[in-house]
């Protein structure tokens, strides 16, 4: 049943809605996201839901499926942002072709938490918070530094300026996504290819 997830719109809508109701697995700056027990319970619910179409589903499969969904959403979101930045008129504003784009729009803030950046490293593959803190603690100690003490901090380096084309700010992300007819056949070829690729991954 490997293809059911991508082709069953009713199930996919239900799965996305359940995902939205479980911020412990996607809302990075929330308290529940940092709660290991709540995160485990949230994943258990998602696994049980996925088993409706994938009997052998487990937590890792859930993470991979969600990552595919978010990657597709992120690609469409970048196109929307780029069309607004072009400033060539409302007729050129990109209309997402991904049918579940609006259903995943609750993730928009997670993709733009810091101005000029995007959460390209998907949080579903993050190291658990406790492990991450432990790793950071160890990395801050020099080879000859006694346990419990940290090596002297290095001289701060000036922050790099991101001049990539897809750099954007939070204010630019707050523009509403409205169903406006985009230019005829514009980006049609690349969009159809990406949709086909997303369905195959699902």
Q: pLDDT digits over 119-165, tens only?
A: 444 343 343 333 434 444 444 444 454 554 555 545 555 444 443 33
Report the chain's mean pLDDT, rounded to a whole number.
70
Spell out the alpha helix ranges (H) of 28-113.
36-50, 59-86, 108-111
Please compute the mean of the pLDDT values over residues 54-67 and round it to a whole number. 96
Q: What is the dihedral of CA 133, 139, 141, 144, to 10 degrees?
A: 140
Highest mean pLDDT among 104-113, 120-129, 160-169, 180-189: 104-113
Count CA within 13 A, CB hemisphere, residue 17. 6
Tokens at residue 94, please?
A: 């990109």
Q: How many CB atoms within 10 Å of residue 158?
A: 5
Q: What is the mean pLDDT of residues 76-84?
A: 88
The more confidently predicted of residues 112 and 50 is 50
pTM: 0.57
Tell me how far apart the alpha carbons of residues 32 and 44 are, in angstroms, rounded to a whole number: 15
Lowest mean pLDDT among 70-79, 147-156, 163-172: 163-172
Lookup: tokens for 161: 């300026």
DSSP state of 126: P
Rounded distance, CA 181 to CA 93, Å?
8
As a whole number, mean pLDDT of residues 40-53 equals 97
């Amino acid at each position: 049943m490997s293809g059911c997830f991508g082709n069953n719109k009713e199930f996919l809508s239900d799965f996305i809605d359940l995902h939205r109701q479980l911020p412990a697995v996607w809302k990075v700056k929330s308290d529940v996201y940092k709660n290991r027990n709540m995160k485990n319970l949230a994943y258990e619910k998602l696994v049980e839901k996925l088993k409706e179409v994938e009997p052998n589903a487990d937590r890792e499969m859930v993470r991979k499926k969600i990552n595919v969904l978010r990657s597709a959403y992120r690609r469409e979101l970048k196109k929307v942002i780029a069309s607004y930045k072009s400033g060539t008129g409302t007729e050129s504003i990109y209309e997402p072709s991904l049918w579940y784009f609006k259903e995943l729009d609750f993730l928009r803030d997670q993709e733009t938490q810091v101005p000029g950046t995007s959460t390209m490293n998907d949080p579903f593959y993050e190291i658990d918070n406790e492990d991450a803190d432990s790793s950071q603690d160890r990395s801050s100690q020099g080879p000859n530094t006694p346990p419990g003490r940290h090596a002297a901090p290095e001289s701060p380096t000036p922050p790099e300026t991101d001049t990539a084309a897809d750099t954007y700010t939070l204010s630019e992300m707050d523009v509403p996504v409205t169903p406006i007819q985009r230019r005829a056949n514009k980006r049609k070829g690349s969009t159809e290819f990406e949709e086909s690729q997303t369905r195959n991954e699902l």
